Structure 1
Amino acid sequence: MNIRIFTLLVLILLMVAGCGDESSTRESAAEKSSTVLPPEITTLSELPSVLREGLTSEEQTELLKKIMPSADDGLTPEERFLKLREEAEAGDAEAQNAMGTLFYTGDAISRDETGKIKDHDLEAAAGWFFRAAEQGHAGAQFNLGLLFAEGQGVPQDSAKAAELFTKSAEQGNVDAQNNIGVMYLIGEGVEKDTEKAIAWFEKAAAQGNEDAQENLKAIRNTGN
């Protein structure tokens, strides 16, 4: 379940399908989010009024389908979301990663302390990714690593991002392999090491990752 991947030249935003400690005095926002999640609402059987404004009933129905698409499980959208949240709260890592994805994309909606609806809740996403990552879920480790790399919902921490990408990459996550390769190549979050970068790019390229293949070509073209 990948949110974003690094290349040598650009950051490519993907649709989600599918995470170095700093000062001991600064508590990780991911740890906070993993234990205290904000009150949440969801666009389930009824859309919030802020989303219904200006839409016809047909448009509201279409929006609801996009936010919580139907599945052949006999459940209503509301039942499906509540089932997923129940599984996540019970400790299921796959469900936790899925919940993180919903909050990252805005398919699950939270309110801030004033009651205003957020378009995205990156803190809640980080909290759910953190829970799954702690259980060794490779996709969640990758996703949380992206949040640390970007400073989204958690403090920006390249060393922590590299640590999480490595854990995910070691489990075979191809995008994590490419990302940690980039970090070794440029020396971000880890000590610069072209040989390690090439090794990770080769692992990802062997799985068909086009970005890693391009990164290898770029390295070879520069004579490294």
Structure 2
Amino acid sequence: MRRYLLAAACLALCAPGAGIAQEPLNTSEQAIADFFAQRDVKRKQVSAENGDPYSMVWLADEIQKQKGGDWLTAKELVPFRVKMYMGAIQAGYAPAYDRMAKMVLEGRLPEGTKMDALDFYRQGAKLGDIDSIIGYARMAQDDFTCSICSKGDEGELLLSYDNTADGEKRSLKELHAASMEKREAAARIYQRERSEFANTAIALLSSDAAADDSNAQDRLARIYLNGIKRPALTRYATYESASRDYFILRPDTAKAKPILERMAAKNDRAALQLLADLYLVGSYDGFPQDRARFIKYASQAADGGDMAFAYKLGHTMVAGQPFGTDFDLGAKYLYMAHQAGRADATLDLAFMFSEGRGVPQNMTTSLALFEEAANRGSAKAAQFLADYWREGMGGTVNPLRASVWQKKADELKANEQRGSETMDLLKALAN
């Protein structure tokens, strides 16, 4: 405990170990002392001590970045980081609110609640901080953001309410009726608070401060497209049904279109991607399947350097679904993505030359492309080559080449499986 108090005191004073005799530093204390010994840090300390809020936030961010990887060290940094962020907040520096909200949500401040984090975001958002605006909107979309919300052991939404008998002697029927009234009251509180948060989020995302920010406008457009759903509160309100959808904010796709078109006119990548996908799929009101608009937005994204959409446009035009084929356009964008190093585009070109689809059939070119795709990480390309040489598709059976490519295919499939498992784990943790 003495070591921790020493470390905390050093952090709070921004001058660890200065002028005092103490026992040798442990690993965490030494890491902290090393941080404050850096020339850039010393300069920022002077500015922070003179009241510069930017330097305060810089110091708190940088000490976490450099020394916060180890859990114990990260814990010992909390007093200093809080002091710096709160000092910046007192000086009216908007980005500090976002930092404090994140500390609460990360569990750095055990006494902090989700509502505290939401309030930090709200205050930063009122000052025009874009990270705070997006942070507030993200929390407003979260099922578990409200003053009476918690998460059950199986991830279910729980609402707290007073379940006592109020000191009165009541029959079981009366207790049951009182309990139902309190449950329904909790459901109404949940709906009311979530609605207030959603409306505030819309106002913040629609503000001048967020008008030109890609992430903010993308989130606003997606809210209008999909609405904000909420769980059915069947355990609190008997009139609700688990078989229907409930919304905090209903979709309003007509409001999404001008946002996306305005951002697309500025070559905003997120808007171009979303518009291209909307006109490709055609599942939203106001956004039917539209070949010309899909090509317009996908090509605009691709020509602006988005190789994922260069591949998507090329693949769609060569595959012919859902708009029919355009081999010239498809080959153009597949080649663009292939030149940028995308294995999936190289694989598509290999199949085109293998099958003579839109280009003259040429197995020499095709095999070279299959090998290039496999060397770029395509398990499908490696498997094709293994089968090609094993079965003698070109008229020659070559067991040795088949074995080499089969080994490569198996390795790539295993890598893809591990990558898929990692993504599933990350998604589960995010939820």
Structure 1 equivalent of residue 374 of structure 2? 205
Unpaired segments ≥5 residues, structure 1: 1-41, 48-54, 69-77, 112-117
5 Å-filtered alignment, 1:14-163, equals 43-45=225-227, 59-61=245-247, 85-106=261-282, 108-110=284-286, 118=288, 120-152=289-321, 156-163=325-332
SS in structure 2 opposite 1:96? helix
| 1:182 Cα offset (Å) | 0.3
Counterpart CA distance in 2 for 1:194 and 1:154 is: 28
Whether the aligned pair in 1 keeps the contact of 2:227 and 2:247 (CA below 8 Å) is no
Q: Which has the higher helix share?
A: 2
Counterpart CA distance in 2 for 1:109 and 1:204 is: 39
Unpaired segments ≥5 residues, structure 2: 1-223, 230-240, 395-431
1:195 has 2:364 as partner: yes
Counterpart CA distance in 2 for 1:214 and 1:160 is: 28
| 1:171 Cα offset (Å) | 0.6
Counterpart CA distance in 2 for 1:179 and 1:94 is: 25
**Structure 2 length normalisation: TM-score?**
0.31
| 1:59 Cα offset (Å) | 0.8
Structure 2 equivalent of residue 177 of structure 1? 346
SS in structure 1 opposite 2:358? coil
Q: Deviations over 1:127-154 (max 9, x none)?
A: 2112122334312221111232244565
Whether the aligned pair in 2 keeps the contact of 1:126 and 1:154 (CA below 8 Å) is no
The 1:141–1:109 alpha-carbon spacing in structure 2 relative to 1, beyond 3 Å, is: farther
Counterpart CA distance in 2 for 1:134 and 1:162 is: 14
Counterpart CA distance in 1 for 2:281 and 2:377 is: 26
SS in structure 2 opposite 1:172? coil
Counterpart CA distance in 1 for 2:291 and 2:247 is: 26
| 1:46 Cα offset (Å) | 8.3
Structure with larger Rg: 2
Whether the aligned pair in 1 keeps the contact of 2:272 and 2:300 (CA below 8 Å) is yes
| 1:203 Cα offset (Å) | 2.1
Q: Deviations over 1:3-43 (max 9, x none)?
A: xxxxxxxxxxxxxxxxxxxxxxxxxxxxxxxxxxxxxxx63
Counterpart CA distance in 2 for 1:174 and 1:98 is: 23
Structure 1 equivalent of residue 399 of structure 2? none
| 1:180 Cα offset (Å) | 0.4
CA RMSD of aligned residues (A): 3.9
Whether the aligned pair in 1 keeps the contact of 2:349 and 2:369 (CA below 8 Å) is yes
Whether the aligned pair in 2 keeps the contact of 1:187 and 1:193 (CA below 8 Å) is yes
Q: Deviations over 1:139-195 (max 9, x none)?
A: 222111123224456552223322221111111112111100100111112222212
SS in structure 2 opposite 1:43? helix
Counterpart CA distance in 2 for 1:209 and 1:91 is: 31
Structure 2 equivalent of residue 20 of structure 1? none
Whether the aligned pair in 1 keeps the contact of 2:342 and 2:376 (CA below 8 Å) is no
Whether the aligned pair in 1 keeps the contact of 2:343 and 2:373 (CA below 8 Å) is yes
Whether the aligned pair in 2 keeps the contact of 1:138 and 1:168 (CA below 8 Å) is yes
The 1:95–1:202 alpha-carbon spacing in structure 2 relative to 1, beyond 3 Å, is: farther
Comparing both chains, which one has the higher relative contact order based on Cα–Cα distances under 8 Å and sequence gaps of 6 or more? Answer: 1
The 1:101–1:220 alpha-carbon spacing in structure 2 relative to 1, beyond 3 Å, is: same
